[in-house]
Structure 1
Amino acid sequence: MSTTATFVLVHGSCHGGWCWQKVTPLLRKQGHEVYTPTLTGLGERSHLLRKDIDLDTHIQDIIQVFEYEDLNEVILVGHSYGGMVIGGAAEKITQRIKRLVYLDAYISQDGKSAFDLIPGLKEIYEQRSMKEQGKEWLVSSYEPQDFGVTNPDDIVWMNARLGPMPWHTHDQPLKMQNTQSKKLAKSYISCTDFGDSQFMPQRIKSQGGWDYHELKKRT
């Protein structure tokens, strides 16, 4: 039996496929197949940024990767906001997915938007709105330090790549009504260096059906 796998890695808010550059070689060195798509309006696709980009737009981005690359038996990983995206994609392409992995991510729920899942997030985004530049539908990017990055070289590298986030990606509720997708194997990886996670992963520990791990920064 082959021990290699196919991974699709979905980035979070303000990032792009570029954020996996240090992870991808490690997986490929072990013989795994790895895809790191960039969601519409972000990263190298920032030229496609527009007002009507929402959660559905990004879900469709991932579905297209699966269909055009003819991917099956995939381990689909979502970081942060990417948890919303992989949850939505799993509704439509359940049969192509082997496992969902939520990497310090939103735990997607039926009828809930990202704003609904994290108390106070909408108010933070309102404060970061770019309405003074006439773009109330955009939220300015966070700083690298907000993501726990401390290495000076990494900060420079990230500052050159982080971009604003379309508002409607976070206010659109996710529809999850496919009973088969609920049966998919699921893992949660909680990054614990920042104390209690805003994603509240502890609530899944008592639910059952989750493979739960905690990750600390290497020293």
Structure 2
Amino acid sequence: MTDFVLVAGARLSASAWDEVAAELRAAGHRPRPLTLSGLAEKRGVPAGQQTHVRDVVEEVERLDLREVVLVGHSYAGVPVGQAAARIGDRLARVVFVDSEVPVDGESFLSGWESDHIREAVAEHDGFWPPAPADHFAGQGLTDEQIARIIDRSCPHPGATLTEPAVLTRPLSELPATYVKCRLDDEEPPPVVAELVKSGHWELVEIDTGHWPMFSRPAELAGILAGLGPASPS
């Protein structure tokens, strides 16, 4: 039995993991979906990126989790990766699901052509608004799945996108799995390709788009369940 702390990407909360969590429970595991500060039911909580890092670390400590697998999707890979470096021997593995990974001193938006995101945040009182339906086209999603994503989406605190990452340990030292969703882009980001060479990282591919918790929840849950705890070498 494995504890999984599941953190969805920007504009999504713990509810994004409902189907994956059900599959993991059925397989005898303990999923712990987490809503980050400033989102959904935590909308009133001021949040920067380091707030989100603390959210993950504090959840692990609050539940006194050991041999925990941290899972970060999309944006959440940035705070989850930092949290993984901070929880010491509580960590079994960190899983990045088609996500960004933290780079010390850089923000989630570093290296992006991000003017449109910054403008949207400025126009919506400091929040990145939920995406329209056409944003999810070509990602292996049915109309019903797109409707569920939109229904579960919420404004995302803009400060979390621009605050820089602070790494307390090189990511290359962490036991990690990167799940690449091939419909989104067939190749992982260059920084991930380099980390895979470290020997502590593995690359897993899934033939779906950027939101596999909606398009392929059973397959994603099977990948997670198959990882199991793994101690750093």
- Contact (CA 8 Å) 2:175, 2:200: kept in 1 or not? yes
Q: C-alpha distance in 2, partners of 1:177/1:64?
A: 16
- Contact (CA 8 Å) 1:192, 1:215: kept in 2 or not? yes
Tell me the equivalent position of 1:186.
176
Tell me the equivalent position of 1:21.
18
Amino acid at match of 1:5: T
Amino acid at match of 2:131: Y
Q: C-alpha distance in 2, partners of 1:91/1:206?
A: 18
**TM-score when scaled to structure 1?**
0.84
Q: After TM superposition, give the deviation of residue 130 of structure 1 in Å.
A: 4.5
Mapped pair 1:56 → 2:46: no
Q: C-alpha distance in 2, partners of 1:184/1:204?
A: 10
Counterparts in 2 of 1:184 and 1:198: CA distance versus 1, 3 Å: closer
* Superposition map of 1:96-111 within 5 A: 96-111=90-105
* Superposition map of 1:62-211 within 5 A: 62-116=56-110, 118-120=111-113, 122-131=114-123, 135=125, 137-147=126-136, 148=139, 150-178=141-169, 182-196=172-186, 199-200=189-190, 201-211=192-202
**TM-score when scaled to structure 2?**
0.79
- Contact (CA 8 Å) 1:114, 1:170: kept in 2 or not? yes
Alpha-carbon deviations, 1:21-49, whole Å to 9, x = none?
11011111111111001001112222x25
More helix by share: 2
The gaps in structure 1 that reach 5 residues or longer are: none
Q: C-alpha distance in 2, partners of 1:182/1:205?
A: 8
Counterparts in 2 of 1:62 and 1:144: CA distance versus 1, 3 Å: farther
Query: Could you tell which deviates more after superposition, 15-24 or 155-164?
Result: 155-164
Q: C-alpha distance in 1, partners of 2:162/2:188?
A: 17
Alpha-carbon deviations, 1:5-63, whole Å to 9, x = none?
111111110000000111011111111111001001112222x254xx10111111111
Question: Aligned residue pairs: how many?
Answer: 206
Q: C-alpha distance in 2, partners of 1:29/1:93?
A: 27
Query: Could you tell which deviates more after superposition, 60-69 or 192-201?
Result: 192-201
Counterparts in 2 of 1:114 and 1:197: CA distance versus 1, 3 Å: farther
Two-structure CA RMSD over aligned residues (Å): 2.2
Q: C-alpha distance in 1, partners of 2:32/2:97?
A: 16
- Contact (CA 8 Å) 2:11, 2:128: kept in 1 or not? no
Amino acid at match of 1:143: P
Q: C-alpha distance in 2, partners of 1:112/1:90?
A: 17
Q: After TM superposition, give the deviation of residue 176 of structure 1 in Å.
A: 0.9
Q: Which structure would you say has the larger RCO, counting Cα contacts within 8 Å and 6 or more residues apart?
A: 2
Q: C-alpha distance in 1, partners of 2:9/2:23?
A: 20
Q: After TM superposition, give the deviation of residue 81 of structure 1 in Å.
A: 0.8
State percent identity of aligned pairs. 27
- Contact (CA 8 Å) 1:107, 1:199: kept in 2 or not? no
The gaps in structure 2 that reach 5 residues or longer are: 209-215, 217-233
